[in-house]
Structure 1
């Protein structure tokens, strides 16, 4: 087991397909469990992952966090398709010398993780999809203007932007949100690489195209034959919760968990519960 935690693991770099990927790798490598690779949400980087979750996983398996192409300290131009993001992610995993991994994808990261499972069935063992949906899902990439505006606000503490995006508006949700922000701000050498407009534009185009390209009867999901755990909050305002039902109904081997009084970041609101449930799923 490495001595590193979420807050102390060094940022490393690896070249893959002409891209210099920034990543962090830590956790227990002694028990022989499959490493888990986390796929980040829209405009998120290494330091928006929740240490309560990654440290929870790292107790008994290896955890790998990375920046998508063109995001923060990873080089290249942000792809404007989910398919290219998945191709790049597969190349990154290959460059680490890994041949079998579990994938945990949140929001846009869930779209990319699904696509990796489709493009690289040799690589993915199990799939965890949080706050996400299928290609052509309900209102994916078509959020109301007032919801989309949440991503563009400028704040003294910019991380507070995530509070209404990820957490329920109840007092319980607000408290969980403030605790999450405190956790992600605890790392002393946070990645301060700036986000350019190209990140918003490229990722926004990719999500919009993926969401508005309809897949009649969600037929493509039948090609993801590995076990899948679908997790969401009961009222996701970013990728509506109905999409989680659709995933569970149309994926060949999927189970669904919905957390109460929770929004788009349900796993951040209930990190201990999420780690427990996901660990049970991955260890079966």
Structure 2
């Protein structure tokens, strides 16, 4: 097992299709790698060390910045299809031919499209706080739209209103998350204004509805674990039900008193559930 942790692992780089991708790699060679596709305005530092280190205790974990995000070079893309293509480029640039994928929020959109367009690359999928194409939008009255309209969030504390619920218990868990993500000395480059504009366009494009918008889900036959908080104000929890219903082989896991980042609020339980899902021969019957 690697001795590197989320707070000490060096930021590495790999070239693919003219982009210099920044990434961190843990427990290399320990079974099937799980590759994280990150949320809107997220970089290498916004992923909870408790989740990274917990999963990396028994498997290889890889986190990366997509093109034009954080420390990666290139131009940020403005469609989910293009961001998913960047993810495929990154995975193959590392010489990997088969991975598990964990996608959070917009990273969940990317994980879906990556699996749909490159099924040979993906074995299993974990989707957290995300939605299908043309999913149910959030309620503007709940404040998430204002959070994103304010521009790039460059404060660890800034994630508290959306990743966590309003209760004192949930916010207390959020403060523990802030302490964990803030414990790394060497920090990634913040999400840029250009990336916000491009990814904002990708969010809009993904939200476009149509009677055939969600047909792609029927083609995703990999086992999928769908995870969310009980009250996600960014991507309403009802979208997780829709994913579980329309994906052919999906299980739904909902956490109580939680928001858009339930795996950050309940990292130990999430790591246990995710590890069980990834490890079993048949994740839903064994």
* TM bin (shorter chain): over 0.9
Aligned mates of 1:115, 1:148 — CA distance in 2: 24
Asked if residue 248 in structure 1 is aligned to residue 237 in structure 2, the reply is no
- Partner of residue 170, structure 2: 173
Q: Number of paired residues?
A: 280
Asked if residue 187 in structure 1 is aligned to residue 192 in structure 2, the reply is no
Contact 2:99 2:121 in 1 (8 A): yes
Report deviation, 1:3. 1.8
- Partner of residue 151, structure 1: 148
- Counterparts of 1:207-246 in structure 2, within 5 Å, are 207-216=203-212, 218-246=214-242
What's the Cα RMSD here? 1.9
Rate the CA distance shift 1:212–1:96 in 2: closer, same or farther, 3 A. Answer: same
Aligned residue for 2:251, secondary structure, equals strand
Rate the CA distance shift 1:114–1:154 in 2: closer, same or farther, 3 A. Answer: closer
Note the alpha carbon deviations across 1:184-240, whole angstroms, 9 max, x for none. 00011111x243321111101101111114353832100101000000011100000
Aligned mates of 1:245, 1:194 — CA distance in 2: 33
Aligned mates of 1:197, 1:145 — CA distance in 2: 24
Aligned mates of 1:101, 1:215 — CA distance in 2: 31
Aligned mates of 1:155, 1:201 — CA distance in 2: 10
Aligned mates of 2:140, 2:162 — CA distance in 1: 12
Aligned mates of 1:51, 1:258 — CA distance in 2: 21
Q: TM-score, length-normalised on structure 1?
A: 0.94
Query: Structure 2: which 5+ runs fail to align?
Result: 281-286
- Partner of residue 8, structure 1: 8
Aligned mates of 1:202, 1:135 — CA distance in 2: 18
Contact 1:143 1:238 in 2 (8 A): no
Aligned mates of 2:233, 2:16 — CA distance in 1: 35
More divergent stretch after superposition (19-28 vs 232-241): 19-28
Rate the CA distance shift 1:170–1:35 in 2: closer, same or farther, 3 A. Answer: same
Aligned mates of 1:147, 1:207 — CA distance in 2: 13
- Partner of residue 94, structure 2: 96
Q: TM-score, length-normalised on structure 2?
A: 0.93
Rate the CA distance shift 1:14–1:144 in 2: closer, same or farther, 3 A. Answer: farther
Q: Pick from 117, 120, 131: which aligns with 2:118?
A: 120
Q: Pick from 271, 279, 283: which aligns with 1:283?
A: 279
